[in-house]
C-alpha cells in the first residue's frame, strides 16, 4: 500500500476510523493533521484496519504517528515501521498515546518507550472551566470577575462574516510572539494553520465563539468534539492586554458545549515555560501521556 499526501477529501475516511476508536489525544485528529500539513507534510495509508501515518517535517527526520482506527494497531505499527525504514536510518514513532505504549510493552515487542512530557495533553473538567468554582480556581475566577465588571462584551458564534476580524486578532497575537523572538519559521506555520482552520471551520464541524468588546472582536476560540465525552480545543487567540479575556473565552466556550461533554482537551505545552504555566494554572484533571517509541536493534 502506497503512502499518499493528506487531502481534504480524505476526511470521511479519517472520521470513520476515529468513530471506530475515538482518539484520546489531539495529534492524530484529522483537523490537526490537515491544518498542519505544510509543516509536518504527513502522508498516510490504510493497513490492517487502521490508518498509518508518517510525518516528514522539512529538514528533520521523518517519524511515525500512532495508527488511527479500530483495527490491529500493532500490525499497523509494523507496517508503518517498514515504510519508515526506507525514509530514515533513525525510525521512531512520536506522540504515541499511553494506551498503545502499554499494549506494545505487554506484547513484548522490541521497542523502547520513553515518556515525552512536553507533548502530554492537558485534560480539564468542562464544568470546572465553565463555572471557575472552588478554591483551586479562585485566581481565575477573580480574573473573570474583573473582565466582566470592566467590559461591555458579547459572545458571537463563528461566521464567514467574522473571519476578517478573527484574522486581525491573529495578527495581534503574531506581533506579540515576534517580540518574544519565537522562531519565525514556526510562527509562519502557526499562522498558516489558523488560516486553514478558519477557511474550513464549517467543513470540520468546528465549535467556537468570538468575544466582541466595544464593537471590536478581541478574541476567539475553536474546537471540535473528538469522542462522546471530550472536546478538543484547537486554538485560543485574544488580546493579551485585556485582563481576564482568555479565562472568559474558555468559560463561555464551555458554557455552550453539549451537556454530554465532560472533558476539555487543551493539547500540549511543547515544553514552552509560559505555555506550561498557563496550562497548569487552569488545574488539569489529568494528563494524556505520550511516548516516543523507538525500535530496539538486534
The answer to whether 205 touches 178, Cβ cutoff 8 Å, is: no
Rounded to 5°, angle at Cα 135 from 133 and 140: 60
Residue 88, burial from CB neighbour count under 10 angstroms (0-12, 13-18, 19+): middle
Tell me the HSE value of 66 on the side-chain side, using a 13 A CA sphere.
28
Other CB atoms within a 10 A radius of the CB of residue 231 amount to 22
Question: What pLDDT is recorded for position 37?
Answer: 95
Local confidence pLDDT in tens for the 298 residues of the chain:
689 999 999 999 999 999 999 998 999 999 999 999 999 999 999 999 999 999 999 889 999 999 999 999 999 999 999 999 999 999 999 999 999 999 999 999 999 999 999 999 999 999 999 999 999 999 999 999 999 999 999 999 999 999 999 988 888 777 776 666 555 566 778 888 999 999 999 999 999 999 999 999 999 999 999 999 999 999 999 998 999 999 999 999 999 999 999 999 999 999 989 899 999 999 999 999 999 999 997 5
Rounded to 5°, angle at Cα 170 from 164 and 171: 90
The answer to whether 209 touches 220, Cβ cutoff 8 Å, is: yes
Handedness of CA 182, 187, 191, 197 (dihedral sign): negative
pTM: 0.94
Question: What pLDDT is recorded for position 191?
Answer: 85
Q: Are strands 263-265 and 121-125 parallel, antiparallel or unpaired?
A: antiparallel
Q: Domains, the chain, ranges and CATH?
A: 4-119+291-295 (3.40.630.30), 121-267 (3.40.630.30)
Question: What pLDDT is recorded for position 175?
Answer: 72
Q: What is the 3-state secondary structure (H, E, C) of 147-163?
A: HHHHCCEEEEECCHHHH
Amino acid at each position: 500500500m502506497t503512502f499518499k499526501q493528506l487531502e481534504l477529501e480524505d476526511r470521511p475516511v479519517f472520521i470513520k476510523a476515529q468513530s471506530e476508536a475515538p482518539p484520546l489525544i489531539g495529534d492524530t485528529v484529522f483537523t490537526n493533521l490537515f491544518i498542519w500539513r505544510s509543516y509536518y507534510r504527513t502522508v498516510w495509508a490504510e493497513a490492517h484496519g487502521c490508518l498509518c501515518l508518517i510525518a516528514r517535517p522539512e529538514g528533520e527526520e521523518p517519524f511515525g504517528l500512532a495508527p488511527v482506527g479500530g483495527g490491529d494497531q500493532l500490525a499497523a505499527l509494523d507496517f508503518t515501521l517498514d515504510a519508515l525504514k526506507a525514509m530514515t536510518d533513525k525510525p521512531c514513532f512520536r506522540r504515541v498515546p499511553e494506551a498503545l505504549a502499554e499494549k506494545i510493552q505487554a506484547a513484548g515487542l522490541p521497542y523502547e518507550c520513553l515518556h515525552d512530557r512536553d507533548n502530554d495533553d492537558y485534560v480539564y473538567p468542562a464544568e470546572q472551566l465553565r463555572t471557575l468554582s472552588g478554591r483551586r480556581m479562585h485566581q481565575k475566577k477573580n480574573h473573570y470577575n474583573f473582565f466582566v465588571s470592566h467590559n461591555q462584551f458579547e459572545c458571537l458564534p463563528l461566521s464567514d462574516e467574522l473571519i476578517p476580524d478573527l484574522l486581525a486578532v491573529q495578527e495581534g497575537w503574531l506581533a506579540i510572539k515576534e517580540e518574544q523572538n519565537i522562531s519565525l519559521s514556526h510562527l509562519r506555520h502557526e499562522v498558516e494553520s489558523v488560516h486553514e482552520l478558519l477557511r474550513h471551520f464549517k467543513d470540520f464541524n468546528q465549535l467556537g465563539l468570538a468575544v466582541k468588546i466595544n464593537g471590536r472582536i478581541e478574541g476567539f476560540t475553536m474546537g471540535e468534539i473528538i469522542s462522546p465525552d471530550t472536546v478538543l480545543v484547537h486554538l485560543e487567540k485574544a488580546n493579551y492586554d485585556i485582563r481576564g479575556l482568555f479565562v472568559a473565552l474558555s468559560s463561555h466556550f464551555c458554557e455552550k458545549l453539549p451537556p454530554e461533554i465532560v472533558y476539555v482537551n487543551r493539547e500540549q505545552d511543547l515544553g514552552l515555560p509560559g505555555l506550561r504555566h498557563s496550562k497548569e494554572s487552569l488545574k488539569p484533571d489529568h494528563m494524556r501521556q505520550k511516548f516516543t517509541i523507538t525500535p530496539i536493534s538486534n
